[in-house]
Amino acid sequence: MKETGPIAVHTISVIVDNEAGVLARVIGLFSGRGYNIESLTVSTVDTSHETSRITIVTSGTRMVIEQIKAQLDRLVPVHKVADLTIEGDFVSRDLALVKVAGVGEKRVEALRLAEAFRAQVVDASRDSFVFELTGAANKLDAFVDLMSELGLVEVARTGAVALSRGQSGL
């Protein structure tokens, strides 16, 4: 629908049957209908491996977001769809691995900043580090930004995983 309302970012949790093709179904839905995916993560989350949890960060007008949720909901292997952004407070975390190469001043500065950000050093050589950092997406963005001047080589990020705050779950 042609709608001109404001565009908002939403974090959506989807519980799906852990079966072949389910991720392709979800991604195909987004590409086929022209919805945005800012990030998407998926993993099984129960011990019997029967269900997976998909966390999707997407953006759109209010009606588009409603459509996205309705379209997800009607996929046969989807059990539950929750819009964390409107259902109350939630926590969202992203994990990044950040490789930085350099020597001397820059190397020291990179390490100092990593400590300030509580990043872990998970690999080190005489002229490089790989930092591991978890946090909200904007914290990771800020860290990567700083590293770009200190010898940033490459970054790998997971995309957001998120849960609602408080005692209840999906």
Partner 1 sequence: MASTKTIQDPAATGAPGDEAANAPMSGAQMILKALVDLGVDTIFGYPGGAVLPIYDEIFKQDKIQHILVRHEQAAVHAAEGYARTTGKPGVVLVTSGPGATNAVTGLTDAMLDSIPIICITGQVARHLIGNDAFQEADTVGITRPCTKHNYLVKDTALVPDVIYEAFYVATNGRPGPVVIDMPKDVQIEKAPYARSGHREHRTYRPQVDGDEAALRKAAYALANGARPIIYSGGGIINAGPEASELLTEFARMTGMPVTSTLMGLGAFPASDHQFLGMLGMHGTWEANHAMHDCDVMLAIGARFDDRVTGQIDGFSPGSTKIQVDIDLSSINKNVAVDIPVIADAASALRRLIAIWKEEKLGDKQPPLVAWWDQIERWRMKDCLAYADSDEMIMPQKALERLQHYIDGKEAIIATEVGQHQMWAAQFLKFDKPNHWLTSGGLGTMGYGLPATIGAQIAFPDRLCIDVSGDASFQMNLQELGTISQYQLPVKIFIMNNEYMGMVRQWQDLSYDGRRSHSYSDSLPDFEKLAEAYGIKGMSVEDPAKLDDAIQEMINHDGPVLLDCRVAKIENCFPMVPAGAAHNEMLLAGDVIAKPKDDEALAVV
Enumerate binding residues for partner 1 (CB under 8 A). 1-2, 17, 20-21, 24-25, 28, 32, 63, 66-67, 70-71, 73-74, 76-77, 79
Least distance in angstroms from the C-beta of 167 to partner 1: 24
Strands (E), 18-89: 39-44, 51-60, 78-83
Six token digits for residue 134? 């978890």
Q: Which is nearer to partner 1, 26 or 140 (CB)?
A: 26
Q: Which is nearer to partner 1, 77 or 159 (CB)?
A: 77
Q: Which is nearer to partner 1, 71 or 134 (CB)?
A: 71
Least distance in angstroms from the C-beta of 50 to partner 1: 9
Least distance in angstroms from the C-beta of 28 to partner 1: 6
Residue 26 C-beta-side C-alpha neighbours within 13 Å:
30
| Closest residue by Cα to residue 144 from 112, 103, 96, 104 | 96
Q: Which is nearer to partner 1, 66 or 149 (CB)?
A: 66
Six token digits for residue 76? 């046969």
Q: Coil, helix or strand for 98?
A: strand
Q: CB atoms < 10 A from the CB of 93, how many?
A: 16
Least distance in angstroms from the C-beta of 27 to partner 1: 10
Q: Which is nearer to partner 1, 76 or 125 (CB)?
A: 76
Least distance in angstroms from the C-beta of 112 to partner 1: 50
State the DSSP code for 167: S
* 107: alpha, beta or left? (left if phi > 0; alpha if psi -120 to 50): alpha
